[in-house]
Amino acid sequence: MARTARERRTGGDDVSFEGFPDEGLVFYEGLEADNSKTYWTEHKAVYDAQVKAPLLALLEDLAPEFGTAKVFRPYRDVRFSNDKTPYKTHQGAVVHPDGACGSWYVQISADGLHVAGGCWRLESDQVARYRRAVADDVQGPRLAKEVDRLTAAGISIAGERLSRVPSGFDAGSPRVELLKHKALHASRSWEPAEWLHSRRALDEVRGAWREFRTLNAWLADNVGATAKEPRRR
């Protein structure tokens, strides 16, 4: 299960975010080369101090504006996977407002910094409401305009999609590509750079999350929470 960003950090009292240390990225380079319990055990103190602690500090600085985040566990669930490597090669966290559709995500790894917003998985009742809204003459153009704005700003749009237009919808719709989506999210990534080790990383994440606010609001208003039972994991 995920933990809240407000858990106490390893090594003492809470401090403000001052960047992601290079040692944390190097830790993940090593983990990619040797994804084993031996490596993890020998370097866990580095993970705690150079990955988890700065991420928690970042999330606490963001919490007044966006809400409390959940930090994902570093261990992989290998029960149903052919890949049996035990550890994730990134550390992620998500802010997911209770009952709402539309989240904020941040991730640090050897590849750098990654942020995203939107919905990654929708249940069937949510997909149905999403498609009705996309087809609507008022809500559909609003979403299309926002997607165009994000794309023009250099933000990537993705999400699980059908290869064909879903049954019952107009194949000639100007929003036909949006109709194919079964999930919708936006993201931006930065490769490792010197500013990543400074407080500027907080500004970049905050700025990107603000960019996703309108998309999240549209999803919350038009898709909402699922009425289905939560999936077992």
pLDDT per residue rounded down to tens, the chain (233 residues): 444 444 434 444 457 899 999 999 999 999 999 999 999 999 999 999 999 999 999 999 999 999 999 999 999 988 888 888 999 999 999 999 876 789 999 999 999 999 999 999 999 999 999 999 999 999 999 999 999 999 999 999 999 999 999 999 999 999 999 999 999 999 999 999 999 999 999 999 999 999 999 999 999 999 998 887 755 54
pLDDT at 188: 98
pLDDT at 83: 84
pLDDT at 3: 47
pLDDT at 99: 65
- CA 68/CA 106 separation, integer angstroms: 13
**Domain boundaries along the sequence of the chain:** 3-222
CATH of domain 3-222: 3.30.930.20
pLDDT at 14: 57
Which residue from 118, 122, 110, 75 is spatially nearest to 189, judged by alpha carbons? 110
Specify the pTM.
Answer: 0.90
Q: How far is CA 73 from CA 92, 93, 174, 179, 190, in A?
A: 8, 9, 41, 34, 23
- CA 130/CA 96 separation, integer angstroms: 18
**At residue 39, what is the residue type?**
Y
